[in-house]
Each structure stands twice: as C-alpha cells, then as structure tokens.
C-alpha cells in the first residue's frame, strides 16, 4: 500500500476524531488500516459505543445505515455510495406490508441485511451470528415472519418449533455455492474442515462442520487444532484468517459458475483511495429522516441489548 496514503488517512483520523470500521469482505488493504474489523453484529455494536465524531464505514450501505441509526449524532460516511446489497434490496416495504396483511398475528423478525424502511417495520432485527437466539427469545407458540434471506430463515427454522413464514430472498454470492463443488473439494481435501455462512443454501450447509457468521468462522479456524479449511463464504475472510494463523491452509469454495461469482463486488467497491477521499471531503454522508431513525432504532437496540445479555457481544 502507498505509505503516503496510509499516513494521510492516519493524520486525518487523528485530526477529525474519526474511526474506520470495516467488514471482513472488504479488500484486505482496507482491513489493514481499519480501527476495527468485524461481522455485522460486532460492527453495529462498535458503532454504538465509539466516542469518535466520524465513522467511516467500509461495508455495504445497510451496514453504514445501521451505524447511523444507532448513532444518529455521529457523521457516518461510506467510501463508495454505490456499495449496496442485493439481498437487502430484495425486500420492499410494500412487499413486507402485504405479507403482514396476510399474516397479521405474526411478529416480524428481519435480518440486518435489510433497508431502514424494513427495519422500522420490524419487531426485532437479527444478524447471522444471533439469528437463532433472537428467534428463540419468543415463546414457541409465537408465529414469525422472517426475511429477507430464505437460507438463513431455513437454518433458524431447523432449531425452533415456531411457525415461520420466510421471505423468498437470497444473497447472490452465497446462493452460488453448490453441494456438488463442495463434495468434489472434500474428496480432494478429505482432512479439511468445512466452514460455512448460513446464507449458503441447505445442500451446502448439510455438508458443513460449522455454520456461523464471518467472525464465528474466523474464531473457529483460529482456535482449531486442524490445519486445513474449506471456506464457504465470501473469500475476503481469508485475509484475516491468514494474518491470524499463517500456518493453516484455507481453500475457498468455488461457486457454480465462474470464480468471480463468489466475490461480493459491492464490498469490493471500496478502495483505500476512496477511504482517504471519504475522510478528506467527508463524503458520502448517510442522511436519514429522524422519524425513520427513531422507528428503525427500536428493533436494532432490542437485538443489541439481548445479545449483550446473552454474552454474544460485550
């Protein structure tokens, strides 16, 4: 990395009391200059407790939006404003309203990969690391509308007896993994441990040794005494994995079609140069209606409070 850019970023962070939060799927160079790298839940928590005045959020739009909702008095910047999430965009407010009209006695639990409008309509938000616990917080007789990820929804359903109606959305990156490719890799690397994200489809998850959020995948591999791992999530996590455990081998699961399909291009839109521009020009700022912030904050704060109580985050 250009050391001049790195120094400028460091100086601007000091001068403006800013921090950089980054998700594991962004480019390794950004992970290296970030103050904190984490999964969605950890990043939301970090945004809620930081005393920085500016948060530069290197992640997709819904993540930066979530930071703004929890910390409305802070300036939240996203280095590339076009960094969206097709999964989050797959659920419209009108669509959820229609679903709720069909199932009026169901509570609404939505994945954090959703727009602020959807969050404002939800009773509770969850992330990949706490989805099962969040749904389990309701008694088994409570009926649940869950969205927008159908794979995460089906994964949660396998742990609970609640009746669940699940939105038909998916992440194009994780949906592109196949059990056939995974079986072939397992034959080639019979000793390898399979670590998968719950956004992957059921046939892939059935072959996994561990299913968890990006942070859980990293923690498991780092602490394990095994040496070889097949990674069934976006390969950005391998950057941190290699930094934390240089002696282990990580094999990315190839997608059904070409290799590019396993990359989250939206996360990769951020670059170190754009992070510098974000700090220099205070762009691109996340602006939100204050009423929307108030409504969307409730189910997110509920999730954070429960996650702290359950010891899932500090």
Place of tokens 């209606």: 289
* Binding status of residue 113 toward ligand 13P by CB under 6 A: yes
Give the one residue of 114, 151, 176, 266 binding ligand SF4; rule: CB under 6 A. 266
Under the criterion CB under 6 A, does residue 199 sit at the interface with ligand 13P?
A: yes
Q: Which is nearer to ligand 13P, 9 or 267 (CB)?
A: 267
Six-digit token string for 128 = 């990949």
Rounded to whole angstroms, the Cα distance separating 42 from 312 reads 9
Beta carbon nearer to ligand SF4, 259 or 308? 259
Report d(CA 177, CA 235) in Å as an integer: 12
Q: Which of the ranges 81-89, 96-104, 177-185, 300-308 carries the binding residues for ligand SF4, by CB under 6 A?
A: 81-89
Q: How far apart are CA 139 and CA 142, in angstroms?
A: 6
What DSSP designation does 263 have? S
Min dist CB 13 to ligand 13P, Å, is: 23
Does 268 sit near ligand SF4 (CB under 6 A)?
no
- Rounded to whole angstroms, the Cα distance separating 72 from 293 reads 7
Residue 156 corresponds to which tokens in the numbers above?
């949660």
The partner in contact with residue 86, picked from ligand 13P, ligand SF4, none with C-beta cut-offs of 5 to 8 angstroms by kind, is ligand SF4
Asked whether the beta carbons of 235 and 200 are under 8 A apart, the reply is no
- State the nearest-atom distance from the C-beta of 254 to ligand 13P, in Å: 17
Indicate which of ligand SF4, ligand 13P, none lies near residue 307 (CB less than 5 to 8 Å, by partner kind).
none
Per-residue contact flags (x/-) with ligand SF4 for residues 157 to 176, judged by CB under 6 A: --------------x-x---
Q: Which residues make Cβ contacts (< 8 Å) with residue 292, sequence separation at least 6? A: 116, 117, 120
37 in Cβ contact with 23 (< 8 Å): yes
Q: Which of 31, 170, 176, 214 binds ligand 13P (CB under 6 A)?
A: 214
- 201 lies in the site for ligand SF4, by CB under 6 A: no
Kind and range of the H or E element at 76?
strand 75-77
Length of the chain: 314
Please identify, using beta-carbon distances, which residue of 66 and 266 lies nearer to ligand SF4. 266
Q: How many CA atoms lie within 13 A of 148 on its CB side?
A: 24
Q: Is 128 in the site for ligand 13P (CB under 6 A)?
A: yes
Cα–Cα distance for residue pair 198/62, rounded to 1 Å: 18
Binding of ligand 13P by 40 (CB under 6 A): yes
Among 12, 60, 67, 221, binds ligand SF4 (CB under 6 A): 60
| 29 near ligand 13P, judged by CB under 6 A | no
Binding site for ligand 13P (CB under 6 A): 39-40, 113, 127-128, 171, 197, 199, 213-214
């Amino acid at each position: 990395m250009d050391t001049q850019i790195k120094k400028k970023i460091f100086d601007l962070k000091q001068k403006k009391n800013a921090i950089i939060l980054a998700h594991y799927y962004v480019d390794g160079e950004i992970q290296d200059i970030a103050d904190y790298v984490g999964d969605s839940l950890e990043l939301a928590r970090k945004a809620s407790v930081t005393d920085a005045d500016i948060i530069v959020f290197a992640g997709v739009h819904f993540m930066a939006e979530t930071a703004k909702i929890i910390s409305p008095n802070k300036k939240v910047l996203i280095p590339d404003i076009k960094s969206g999430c097709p999964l989050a965009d797959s659920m419209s407010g009108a669509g959820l309203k229609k679903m709720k009209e069909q199932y009026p006695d169901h509570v609404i639990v939505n994945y954090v990969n959703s727009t602020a409008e959807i969050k404002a309509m939800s009773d509770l938000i969850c992330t990949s690391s706490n989805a099962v616990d969040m749904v389990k917080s309701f008694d088994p007789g409570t009926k649940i509308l869950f969205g927008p990820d159908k794979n995460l929804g089906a994964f949660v359903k396998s742990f609970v007896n609640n009746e669940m109606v699940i939105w038909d959305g998916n992440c194009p990156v994780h949906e592109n993994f196949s059990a056939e490719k995974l079986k072939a890799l397992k034959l080639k690397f019979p000793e390898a441990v399979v670590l998968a994200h719950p956004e992957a489809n059921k046939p892939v998850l059935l072959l996994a040794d561990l299913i968890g959020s990006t942070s859980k995948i990293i923690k498991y591999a780092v602490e394990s005494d095994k040496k070889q791992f097949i990674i069934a999530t976006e390969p950005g996590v391998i950057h941190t994995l290699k930094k934390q455990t240089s002696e282990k081998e990580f094999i990315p699961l190839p997608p059904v079609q070409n290799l590019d399909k396993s990359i989250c291009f939206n996360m990769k839109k951020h670059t170190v140069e754009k992070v510098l521009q974000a700090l220099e020009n205070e762009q691109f700022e996340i602006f939100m209606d204050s009423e929307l912030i108030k409504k969307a904050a409730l189910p997110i704060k509920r999730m954070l409070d429960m996650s702290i109580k359950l010891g899932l985050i500090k």
